[in-house]
Amino acid sequence: GHVVRNWKVRWFVLLQDKLLYYKIEGGKKEPSPKGRILLDGCTITCPCLEYENRPLLIKLKTKTNTDYFLECCSREERDSWALDITGAIHAGHPVQVQELHRMKNSFKLLDNISLHDIVERMYDSNTGIKLTRNLDQGNRYKETFTGSALVDWLISNSFAVSRFEAITLASMLMDENFIRPVGTRSTEATRFSDPSEKFLDDSTALYMFAENSKKNTSSKEEVQFNISELSGTIVKQGFLVKQGHKRKNWKVRKFVLRADPAFLHYYDPTKEENKPVGGFSLRGCLVSALEDNGVPAGVKGNVQGNLFKIITKNDIHYYIQASSKAERVQWIEAIKPLT
């Protein structure tokens, strides 16, 4: 409402040049509209994140700078209305309408957008992604965000123009280990190879910043792991040297290989807490020894040899050094049956 800032149910009718809204009485709309929004010169914002507890908003600003906030019943309905309203606003420009429909189901990461820049913006305390506590099947997770919240945030910050594009971009952030799924629903989805299936645009799918991009958070904060990941039988454990994903430096980590479910976790031996600092599912992974003559692409810094590589199903590459050829063979043979 414009006078009293309350929320009321209205029946909307979209015409070519205006949006009419009617009052509902006894389950029926009144014969004459309660009001109208002229679309000529109007600008639309969707998703609109100005109300933190109302994620399904569309904002319309008229040519006279009047703001209208419209709340839909679902994200699908919101995006459908937004697309149709945008089409009506640009009705006199058919080329623009065709471009809007083309962008709805296409994806191309803009040349001037860096994944690192997106993550930096996500961390911003004022305009970044809102982090919340969540409960998933008995497990408590600190500082998480939902899949649909990230999609909305990417669109509202102009990193994507459609939900399809935002989902693909979020999948890239996950593939590059900037964010990681937590909880059963989002973790299970990573088994799919299609970006539209492995990242969930869903308010029940939980995600959080991954270990290698938590530079702006307190050192006391820990990566949360699903209890089921750590419940498997320990098959093998020992110290190996792992290359970091971001700084490409090498650090000693204690690796623990588990089966049922098959996961490989690694721990920081300098910390007293017996909690992993990283890990991943072995389902669909590829593991192989790397030749000692020459340094393969993707490997930086001081390489002593006895190197092997694990590629996850999400195409994340882990480079690991063993202390001897025999130890490398033992680890590879232990990991392969679990992939």
Please provide the DSSP assignment of 32-91 as one string: S-SEEEE-TT-EEEEEE-SSTT-TTEEEEE-TT--EEEEE-SSHHHHHHHHHHHHHHHTT
Dihedral over Cα of 139, 142, 279, 204: its sign: positive
Domain shared by 237 and 303, yes or no? yes
Boundaries of domain holding 32:
10-105
pLDDT for position 212: 37
Q: What's the pLDDT tens digit per position in 101-121?
A: 554 444 444 455 577 788 888
Q: What are phi and psi of 336, to 5 degrees?
A: -55, -45
Domain shared by 242 and 287, yes or no? yes
Give the pTM: 0.43
Domain shared by 327 and 236, yes or no? yes
Domain shared by 153 and 124, yes or no? yes
Q: Which residues of the chain have pLDDT under 70?
A: 52, 92-113, 136-138, 192-196, 211-226, 246, 272-273, 292-298, 300-302, 304
Is 110 contained in some domain? no
Is 5 contained in some domain? no
Domain shared by 231 and 328, yes or no? yes
List the CATH number of the domain containing 325.
Answer: 2.30.29.30
Length, in residues, of the chain: 339
pLDDT for position 192: 65
In angstroms, the CA 121 to CA 126 distance is: 10
Domain shared by 314 and 236, yes or no? yes
Q: What's the pLDDT tens digit per position in 87-96?
A: 888 875 555 5
On whether the CB atoms of residues 312 and 318 are closer than 8 A, the answer is yes
Domain shared by 65 and 86, yes or no? yes
Q: Domain total for the chain?
A: 3
Is 329 contained in some domain? yes
In angstroms, the CA 116 to CA 123 distance is: 11
Is 220 contained in some domain? no
Please choose, from the candidates 317, 246, 315, the residue with its C-alpha nearest in 3D space to the C-alpha of residue 307: 317
Is 184 contained in some domain? yes
- Sequence-separated (6 or more) residues with CB below 8 Å from residue 322: 240, 306, 307, 308, 328, 331
Is 219 contained in some domain? no
Domain shared by 246 and 329, yes or no? yes
On whether the CB atoms of residues 34 and 12 are closer than 8 A, the answer is no
Domain termination residue (choose one: 47, 77, 105)? 105
Domain shared by 189 and 239, yes or no? no
Is 4 contained in some domain? no
pLDDT for position 104: 47
On whether the CB atoms of residues 154 and 95 are closer than 8 A, the answer is no
Beta-bridge mates of residue 195? none
Is 217 contained in some domain? no
pLDDT for position 217: 37
Domain termination residue (choose one: 74, 105, 136)? 105
